[in-house]
Chains A and B, each alone.
Chain A
Amino acid sequence: MRRWHDVTVSLNGPAAARLYDQHVDAVYSYAARRVGTDAAVAVVRDVFEHALGQQARRPEKTSNDLGWLLAITTAFLRRHSATERGRLLNWTAEHAAGSGSMPRVTDPLLSSDAEDAAVVTTAKVMAAVAELEPEDRDLLFLVAWEGCSPTLVAAATGIPLGSVRSRLSAVRKELRLRVGDTNTSDGTDVSIERPTEPLDDRAEDLS
């Protein structure tokens, strides 16, 4: 029989496997920080299952694999919004210390009282974050926790590249209003060391 247009689907395994191996840690970390390690595993599975299924339809303009995967991850994290909200509203030192890391207060003069005050302030800010619009929360966490560059943020959220900074500024103002506390000033009265390197080498300091 004449078959003049056979459509043989190849595994495409190497490319797909590379995509997974290169970015699984980034996707997992992003998800785990927001919804916890248990839910993160399910998110990772969903993200890559979707990504591989959608690969043929991936927009050509998508700048890079990571931005595309973070966009999918962000979408799937919405399914766990209740979990995330609960974590934010009940933020304690243990959340941040889930893997043994707390924001480290580097000022040797700070007392434990000051540390307690910092934790309380953080809890208030996190509660305020829980009340943000989902898109604003995505933006905030991608910048503050994943260290994404504006380009990566734009790819992951759909926010126009030129609007990332202004949008983040708006988020900052809104958080200030929600917290309503002068402790969250623009000053640098408490120096807190950033725990790890940013996700993207091109990351700029947007915070």
Chain B
Amino acid sequence: MNPVQIVEAARPDVSPMHAGEQRHVRELLFDVAMRAETGHKPMEVRSPNTRRSNALRLAALGMLGAVAIGGLAFSASRDTGTSLNQATPDTSPARTTTVTTEPERAVIVEPPRPTTAPTTTTIPIPGSAESPLLLPPERTRLDELTVTPMQLGGWNLMLRASDLTTIGLREADGLKPPAPEPPTTEETGETIPTVAPREFDGFTMSEPDETGAYLATISCGLFTVTEGPGFLPFRLELNRLLQSMSVTNGVIDVPLPEKWQLISEGPSVNEFTFGLPVTIGGVNSVVTLAQFPNGSIAGAAYGARQYVPETFRGEPAWIHRSVDDPGAFDLVGMLGTTAFRVSARDVTLVELEFVLSQLLSGDVDEWIRRFGALPIETDPDIRTCSAQPSFSVS
């Protein structure tokens, strides 16, 4: 016998992996799939006695925190351990595909084995230049994951009117738009009554859509004004603003009417959004976090919402509470250099702060590593038209 044959003959026989162990590992890897298949409910981290007291709620949330910290510690240990790349025989080429295939995973049900976890965990410091993003812990199931590319040359304004309503303005570069379509007519030839577009100084503002957004097409692009639904078209306060505005060679001059305020302004930037499932007081919910690195409150808040001032993490913020959906809110603010918008329901701001504190700080590269390449901007750079729009607030 040669040595290789002797080694071959000494081959240990091993029994198949114990079924319990195999199932345990499988559940860790495919938590969501397993739950879907078995009908298991999402992880309970709180007392089922919902909203009995804030103390109970926070204590239960603490459990979530412990689990999350364990997950973060475990994750950190995976990252800082022996370099797999060094040992793996070239199984990971530098090229990254555009396929985003991170398995959907749920929050870790039980803490990782202590032998693989470091002894300390660093609370993330979000919004820095080095770490502009907050990322979900590894192995967390995400209900939503999107990246919305910036609009070329876009800019956002957030104004507050003298009646304390908030109004968003956004301009986007582009080509000169086609002429507006004629009013829609029924087959009978009867014209559907609409609010006629209004002419202002250098621009024509369309009627508002159902979300309360107005569109103005100008020489090389467009700008929109939105205040949310429920307002009369061209209401008096808004009309004051529009009448004060003028557009000349693409410059959108915005002299603020008396007692109006410029709350925020900033460029259009990439938007990174994920939905994080949480269980609070026995109730499953999703906290959706949209982040805008190097963005602004104006950009994060833009949309069909009315905001009022709020304080979050000791910093000024703005909150929109839904009239139609009690308990739901959108909170907008800044984390360092990153603007954020959190959408949640039936979550207190204290709880929300705690949830965010459990996230990992990271950057775009880390996002790409975990979730795949960013979408490629396929729209051509159409700013060849001169006199592209830009705001000038005074």
Contacts and interface: CB of A to CB of B under 8 A. Distances in A.
A199 to B, nearest CB: 11
Interface in A129-163: 129, 140-141, 143-145, 156-158
B89 A192 contact: no
Nearest to B11: A145
Contact of B102 (A53, A175, A190): A53
Interface stretch (B181-189, B230-238, B281-289, B369-377): B369-377
A28 B21 CA distance: 11
A176 interface: yes
Contacts of A86: none
B120 interface: no
A78 interface: yes
B89 A187 contact: no
Q: How large is the interface on B (under 10, 10 to 19, 20 to 34, 35 or more residues)?
A: 35 or more
B146 to A, nearest CB: 5
Interface string B85-101: 00111111101110111
Interface stretch (B23-31, B254-262, B313-321, B342-350): B23-31
A45 B25 contact: yes
A55 B101 contact: yes
A9 B371 contact: yes
Contact of A4 (B11, B14, B379): B379
B84 A50 contact: yes
A32 to B, nearest CB: 4
B92 A122 contact: no
B3 interface: yes
Interface in B88-121: 88-93, 95-97, 99-104, 113, 116
B260 to A, nearest CB: 24
**Interface residue SS majority, chain B:** loop
Given A143-B4, A156-B89, A13 B376 contact: no
A76 B88 CA distance: 8
A13 B4 contact: no
Interface in B118-144: 142, 144
Contact of B10 (A20, A74, A103): A103
A176 B3 contact: yes
Contact of A79 (B10, B16, B81, B96): B81
Contacts of A50: 84
Contacts of A53: 102-103, 370
B1 interface: yes
Nearest to A184: B3
Interface in A1-33: 1-14, 16-17, 20, 24-25, 28-29, 32-33
Given A41-B25, A145-B7, A186-B2, A57 B17 contact: no
Residue from the set B5, B36, B93 with the largest chain A CB neighbour count within 10 Å: B5
Contacts of B21: 41
B2 A194 contact: no
Contact of A140 (B4, B96, B303, B371): B4
A12 to B, nearest CB: 5
B376 A1 contact: no
A206 B4 CA distance: 9
Nearest to B151: A2
Nearest to A61: B93
Contacts of A3: 146, 148
B115 to A, nearest CB: 9
Contact of A10 (B104, B375, B378): B104
Contacts of A37: 14-15
B97 A44 contact: no
A75 B12 contact: no
A163 to B, nearest CB: 13
B102 A9 contact: yes
Residue from the set B22, B89, B91, B101 with the largest chain A CB neighbour count within 10 Å: B91
Contacts of B370: 53
A187 B1 contact: yes
A90 to B, nearest CB: 13
Given A48-B29, A101-B12, A145-B11, A11 B104 contact: yes
A78 B29 contact: no
Contacts of B148: 1-3, 5-6
Contacts of A164: none
A91 B30 contact: no
A125 B3 contact: yes
Given A9-B101, A9-B372, A96-B10, A188 B1 contact: yes
B90 A59 contact: yes
A45 B28 contact: yes
Nearest to B16: A25
Given A13-B103, A76-B84, A126-B10, A28 B90 contact: no
A56 B100 CA distance: 7
Contact of A32 (B14, B91, B113, B371): B14
20 contacts: A2-B148, A5-B377, A5-B378, A7-B145, A7-B371, A9-B142, A13-B32, A24-B25, A25-B16, A45-B29, A53-B370, A57-B93, A72-B91, A75-B88, A97-B12, A125-B3, A143-B8, A157-B89, A184-B2, A184-B3
Interface of B: 1-17, 21-22, 25-26, 28-30, 32-33, 36, 78, 81-82, 84, 87-93, 95-97, 99-104, 113, 116, 142, 144-149, 302-303, 370-372, 374-379
